[in-house]
A and B are shown apart, each in its own frame.
Chain A
Amino acid sequence: MPSRPTNSGTRQLSQRSVFEALLHGSPISRAELAKVTGLSKQTTSEVIDAFEQQGLVRPIGRTSGNVGRTAVLYELSPEGGHVLGIDLGAQRLTVALADIAGRVLAEADEPTDSRGGVWAIDQIARLSDRLARDNHTHPSRIRCIVLATPGVVNPKSGAIEMSPNIAGLGNLNVVGLLGERLGTPVVLENDINLALLGEIWHGCAQNVENVAFLALGSGVGLGLYVNGRLVRGENGAAGEIGYLPIGGDPLQAGSRLQGCLEYQVGATGVMRRYREAGGSNVDSVRQVFERAQEGDPHAVEVVAETARLTALAATAVIATVNPQLLVLGGSVGARADFADTVARILLQLSPRPVEIRTSSLGRRAGVVGALSVALRRLHDEFFGVAELAAALPLPPPARRSARQ
């Protein structure tokens, strides 16, 4: 089990540079590492030797094809440390395991235990244990866990607030309970913020500085990413757009409780409006959309109104924060037909230039984002340098594990 390299000062910076080069350019030889980092060959070799002893890197072959001597190629070792990303949604629980190099080793998902609360926590622990076991990863090698949860994570208390779609989470110390069960510290983050970070790392928002992620599924929410940082707000409640005064009377009972917009466009709102319009019984929003596609006039009307209200919410976002890119996500928001309608209405509503894309990671966005945050934390634990405020950039996508 590697631990944080103990040397300080320039040596720490050297180690960070070599690690970053390995993160972004493996497999790579010592000579090439020296060239990329600007460090001397001697320093590079010392760092590589230390990393190899710590189990952080491993030789993976030799250069070939060139005239002259071949050189050993190195890559980050999967034994260097693992992270777990968890997305606890109202409908689905997804867990993913990655190694220190950002290779996603395995993913698993199942329907969320509808009883919520301690049952959901128990379910998370069981699924995580199984995933680690199936991948021959001892739980002690998991260094960091990030959990995506709906609602607001209060940055001061760590409690989950305003999460109407999963029962019984508000009164629980989720961080404490889950951390104890899994034996690793757990970090909570809002699911939409993490879905946004997922799209930025592996999805449709790569290399964009100013992104808004509007998610519509069980509920409605917004993630904002500006100049390399999430916008969280004073109490962690930025982006709680369910409370936008759009779509009805904000003083109405349902609006007060759930939020005016969410009361209309959240899953229960869509199903309620379909019933009120005269539609027959449905168990899910998906059914309403399927019926709209089959031409059920009540469903068509409800879907159109949902798109219109979503576009109005997007207009408020665009007018206020002027994003470069607006990503539509969530189980409803990422539907191509729905997103097209929203984009068309937006074109009429808003004179501001904004690019609109649909989430490319779909329902994996949250768990991928959770992995990205867990990885940054792990890297920071090993190679964080106090004087360097910026985190190590994560490696680009399309690096799948050989095991898959």
Chain B
Amino acid sequence: MTGETAYCFAADLGGTKLAAAIADARGSIVAELTEPTDPRGAAYVAEQIAACADKLGQTVGIDVTQPRHVMVGIPGAIEPRTGRISLIPNIAGLEDFDILGFLRGRFGPDVAIENDVNLAMLGEHAFGCASRCRNAAFLSLGTGAGLGLLIDDKLFRGARGMAGEIADLPIGRDPTSQIPASGGSFELEVGSFAIVDRYRRQGGTAAATVRDIFRLLEQGDEVAASVLDTTARWVALAVVTLQSLLDLELIVFGGSIGVRSELYERVQRDLPALVSRPIAIAPSQLGDRAGLIGAAWAAGQALR
């Protein structure tokens, strides 16, 4: 790659890790890297993103001050008109930090930010298992729950960029019980903290993280199996909910928990009893790179 060639810079910012890539003008990744997200919060994270661009530039031998387009995935909802970010639980200070302004200061005007799960949806649509779909969703399950939606071949963001913020789907608590004081039912059942908490409540002791629970499951731990059964049941009900609302062709499972076959296969097993019409679900083909690949692709699209 020479300094003359048009290129893009893409990043996928998560609560625990930051992935970044240089892509060519078609949005195909040329070089990429991943590092732990700077825990000190928004301003440091923004600097870290810019530093990633420099490092990648050195790797491929170009000066990354003027990429033709920059696309950064953000783990929150972005108001389409104002660019204001909300619903970010895991990066301190990002809601009040003008990350778009910062990035434009560094890279020039052609910078965009997009919800990270939306970008994962685009990644799967462009290069993954949803490549033939016009109506699909990317269901991300990890620390929290999020959804990227493709409707009639286009990303669907909702009136204020909050479409797919499914943390408070009314799924999980007994629906005939008292009205919960606030939302958040679904995430309170399937978020990673909820899963670990469920494991402890059911008498398990040795797990500190969901990863531990998956390891225990492999060793034949019955509590771990039961906890995943319960979690999968709630996820299956979310799938039924999405299907009845939007009549999708495919729901892609992603995120650190969503991609695990131990969960995905349980959901698959539960679905036939819950619906009269079949629902296609599939694990993410691009795995934890879906967001970054989607960001690079979207940056390439912006050059067209």
Which of A90-98, A140-148, A175-183, A226-234 contacts the other chain? A226-234
Do the beta carbons of B244 and A319 come within 8 Å of each other? no
Chain A residue, CB-CB nearest to B161:
A322
Do the beta carbons of A243 and B170 come within 8 Å of each other? no
Indicate with 1 or 0, residue by residue over A294-313, a CB within 8 angstroms of chain B CB atoms. Answer: 00000000000000110011
B247 located at the interface, meaning its Cβ lies under 8 Å from any Cβ of chain A in the complex: yes
Do the beta carbons of A237 and B247 come within 8 Å of each other? yes
B194 located at the interface, meaning its Cβ lies under 8 Å from any Cβ of chain A in the complex: no
Do the beta carbons of A234 and B168 come within 8 Å of each other? no
Please give the residue numbers on chain A whose beta carbons come within 8 Å of chain B beta carbons, in ascending order: 209-210, 222, 224, 226, 229, 231-248, 250-251, 256, 259, 308-309, 312-313, 315-317, 319-324, 345, 348-353
Complex Cα–Cα for A323 and B158 (A): 6
Complex Cα–Cα for A242 and B241 (A): 10
Other than the known A248-B175, A319-B167, what 7 A-B pairs have Cβ atoms closer than 8 Å?
A231-B151, A238-B245, A248-B176, A322-B157, A322-B159, A348-B182, A353-B160
Chain A residue, CB-CB nearest to B276:
A256
Q: Is chain A's interface secondary structure helix, strand, loop, or mixed overall?
A: loop
B98 located at the interface, meaning its Cβ lies under 8 Å from any Cβ of chain A in the complex: no
B129 located at the interface, meaning its Cβ lies under 8 Å from any Cβ of chain A in the complex: no
Among B176-223, those with CB < 8 Å from A are 176, 179-183
Complex Cα–Cα for A364 and B243 (A): 29
Complex Cα–Cα for A78 and B124 (A): 52
Shortest CB–CB separation between residue B296 and chain A, in angstroms? 26
What are 26 A-B contacts defined by CB distance under 8 Å?
A222-B245, A226-B156, A231-B246, A233-B135, A233-B247, A234-B249, A238-B246, A243-B243, A243-B276, A248-B175, A248-B176, A250-B240, A256-B276, A315-B169, A316-B241, A319-B167, A320-B163, A320-B242, A320-B246, A322-B157, A322-B158, A322-B160, A322-B164, A348-B179, A348-B181, A351-B182
Partner of B175, one of A233, A235, A243, A312: A312
Shortest CB–CB separation between residue A276 and chain B, in angstroms? 13
Shortest CB–CB separation between residue A45 and chain B, in angstroms? 42
Residues of A within 8 A of B229 (CB): none
Residues of B within 8 A of A323 (CB): 158-159
Among B137-171, those with CB < 8 Å from A are 147, 149, 151-152, 156-171
Do the beta carbons of A244 and B168 come within 8 Å of each other? no
B248 located at the interface, meaning its Cβ lies under 8 Å from any Cβ of chain A in the complex: yes
Partner of A316, one of B149, B169, B275: B169
Residues of B within 8 A of A349 (CB): 168, 170, 179-180, 183
Chain A residue, CB-CB nearest to B162:
A322
